[in-house]
A and B are shown apart, each in its own frame.
Chain A
Amino acid sequence: MLTLSTVTPVYSGQDYLRELVMALAEVRDKLQADEAPIQLVESIFVLDEGIDESATVLSELAREHDWIRILHLSRNFGQHPATMAGILHSSSDWVATLDEDLQHPPSEILNLLAKAVLQDKDVAYAKPIAAVHENLIRDLGSSGFKKAMEVFTGNEQISSFNSFRVMRGTLARAAASVCSYDTYFDISLTWFTKRIISVPLSIKDHRVINGKQSGYSLKQLLSHARRMAISSNTKLLRFAGLAGILAFLTSILFMAITLIQHFFFPETIDTHGWASLFTAILFFGGLISVISTVLVEYLMVAILHLNGKPTFYTVDRSRDKFLVDYLRG
């Protein structure tokens, strides 16, 4: 039998947790009733030093359901570290992560899992089919930033990223293991697999839509964006390096033209010194750009190495075959 765990970071979810657990229990009951080859064995709730009574609600729920596990983080670390802590405490073959506020319906976990298994993928992200927050600035800001990051970093998976995901447990744990405190978890996940699929789902953040405060502030969202940027490869830097090389080569060409003019056609030079000055600026500017790019490339290699980007990693997908028939049905 294969196993499934869910991980939910909790910050201010007291009003939603009971309903969330009921929905998870329905998934668990359904799998048990179907005698499915995969069972939901644990739901891990990671208390990220929340601001409400979530801890009390969860303790009550844990007394009622023995498959609920609670982790208490020692301080508020943020959504990603909390998710990673939960993943690292999981032991299942597949791990689903979902938010506390019911914007990610647990009933869709099996849909995500089915898409991943049947299409031979390792990760299935939920892809909202409409604006999640119904807030133009926030929704456009989020998708725009991800698109820009895709261009800058060359990582085509970035726009798929979503906190509602189903992942192969071994890869999720490997990705979480290598993350340092500033690594973006999903970027780390792409170091281990490119078999990623986006599954269109209707996702709405009712908490924000209904005018309640989001669990995460603007500052935290910006920190999120920063973390994504510094965890990624800097493809853009290579463009800067290329521009530097072009400037350098152009300066050599200009230098040759200036010298030819100086020795063979001196009468064509109206003002002496300007051409040499521009050529020198172009020469040294280009040279500095190239050197800087090389240095930053070295730095990026060192940072990615420090961040734990693996040289290779092995994965066993052979047990997926046990799920195929059930998930097709």
Chain B
Amino acid sequence: MIILYNKSPTHQTHTALVLIFGIGLIGQEIVNALTKTGYSPITHNFSWTDRQQQASDASSIIGKLRTLSYDPIMDIGYEREPDIDVVWAAGKCGFVSSCEELEEEKKSFRRILELHGQISSSGLCNSARFHLVSSAGGLFESQKLINETSTPSPCRPYGNQKLQLEQLLLDTIDKGLCFIYRPSSVYGFINSGRFGLISTLLKNGLINKEVNILGSMNTLRDYVFSADIGQHIANRITSNNTPGSIEILASGKPTSILQLKLIVEQIINKKIYICCSSSEANNEDITFDANGLPVDWQSTEINLGIRKIYNDFF
């Protein structure tokens, strides 16, 4: 996990602290966006599996937060208690993950909620906010033109788990402090872990390797650029006046696999070999209503986003 702190001139009266759990595609983008606004990162250990180690790590994190809440020059506390935001952007599980894998993730999430409680009860800060990155695809699988009034109806354990995490958060923490983000299909570049479809198309296209797709060329999805999500969450963190909310983060433009293939082919100037597997039940369209997105949400056009990944990383 990463702790980010901000002692820039804009925070003369207090410190702003952000704890990010999960430095994957979205977590890393949140870190990037916050560091651009003056936050400094400190990497800290947090065990995902060892319960005893987790307790020890949690104490160590609180100690670190306490240190960062004090003015190192004056050696006294700031006028105001620190702003603390806890971000859960973790999750190694995907659409096809098993119940056991998901259960493990849920346990880790509970542990982070406990840590949030410990932070609040430690006297450091009374109103630490919690940001949960959920999944619109998991919650609304097979639905079309999804908007803020759509009812989640998960079709598989992955979606059920996401819904449970959201409920757990809302049951545990005051709703005004809960920020739940439901991104659609996220794309971006990641060095490790699961490669998304777009990165795989780019990577395999460049090395003339076949891409296996669980769906058909007609399958519609809504793709959002990871940097846009990182920026949006960073905006919510840095804006103290925003009340908690549940937001769908999507582009509002459905894109078929065929379109993606053509866009990537045009960018890399090579043909991509695709093998569609219709045996998996993953070829249902999932699309979003552009009218139901947050007013301050900015989504990068997909062509531009893919070109950016290609230019930056390939």
Question: Nearest Cβ distance between residue A317 and chain B, in whole angstroms?
Answer: 12
A41 within 8 A of partner (CB): yes
Please state if B290 and A3 are interface contacts (CB–CB under 8 Å).
no
Residues of B within 8 A of A174 (CB): 217-218, 256, 258
Please state if A69 and B291 are interface contacts (CB–CB under 8 Å).
yes
Docked pose: A126 CA to B218 CA in angstroms: 26
Name A125-182 residues within 8 Å CB distance of B. Answer: 170, 173-174, 177-178
Name A306-329 residues within 8 Å CB distance of B. Answer: 308, 313-316
Given the known interface contacts A173-B256, A177-B262, the answer about A41 and B145 at a Cβ–Cβ threshold of 8 Å is yes
Q: A91 touches which one: B216, B254, B258, B262 (CB < 8 A)? A: B254
Residues of A within 8 A of B256 (CB): 170, 173-174, 177
A289 within 8 A of partner (CB): no
B106 within 8 A of partner (CB): no
A90 within 8 A of partner (CB): yes
Max count, chain A CB within 10 A of own CB: residue among B218, B254, B259: B218
Please state if B144 and A66 are interface contacts (CB–CB under 8 Å).
no
- A68's nearest neighbour on chain B, judged by CB, is B291
- B286's nearest neighbour on chain A, judged by CB, is A91
A304 within 8 A of partner (CB): no
Name A1-26 residues within 8 Å CB distance of B. Answer: 3
Name B139-158 residues within 8 Å CB distance of A. Answer: 144-145
Given the known interface contacts A170-B218, A174-B217, A314-B216, the answer about A69 and B253 at a Cβ–Cβ threshold of 8 Å is no
Please state if B262 and A308 are interface contacts (CB–CB under 8 Å).
yes
Name A50-86 residues within 8 Å CB distance of B. Answer: 62, 66, 69
B220 within 8 A of partner (CB): yes
A42 within 8 A of partner (CB): yes
Question: Nearest Cβ distance between residue B46 and chain A, in whole angstroms?
Answer: 40
Residues of B within 8 A of A41 (CB): 144-145
Residues of A within 8 A of B166 (CB): none
A88 within 8 A of partner (CB): yes
B285 within 8 A of partner (CB): yes
B287 within 8 A of partner (CB): yes
A89 within 8 A of partner (CB): yes
Residues of A within 8 A of B258 (CB): 173-174, 177-178
Docked pose: A180 CA to B135 CA in angstroms: 34
Please state if A66 and B291 are interface contacts (CB–CB under 8 Å).
yes
Question: Nearest Cβ distance between residue A48 and chain B, in whole angstroms?
Answer: 17
Q: A69 touches which one: B144, B216, B290 (CB < 8 A)? A: B290
Question: Nearest Cβ distance between residue B72 and chain A, in whole angstroms?
Answer: 50
- The interface of chain B, by Cβ under 8 A from chain A, is 144-145, 216-218, 220, 252-256, 258-259, 262, 285, 287, 289-291
8 sample A-B contacts, Cβ–Cβ < 8 Å, listed by A number: A41-B145, A66-B291, A89-B253, A173-B258, A177-B259, A177-B262, A178-B262, A308-B262
Extra inter-chain contacts (14) besides given A91-B220, A91-B287, CB under 8 Å: A42-B289, A88-B254, A88-B255, A89-B254, A90-B254, A91-B145, A92-B144, A173-B259, A174-B218, A174-B258, A177-B259, A178-B258, A178-B262, A314-B218
- The interface of chain A, by Cβ under 8 A from chain B, is 3, 41-42, 62, 66, 69, 88-92, 170, 173-174, 177-178, 308, 313-316
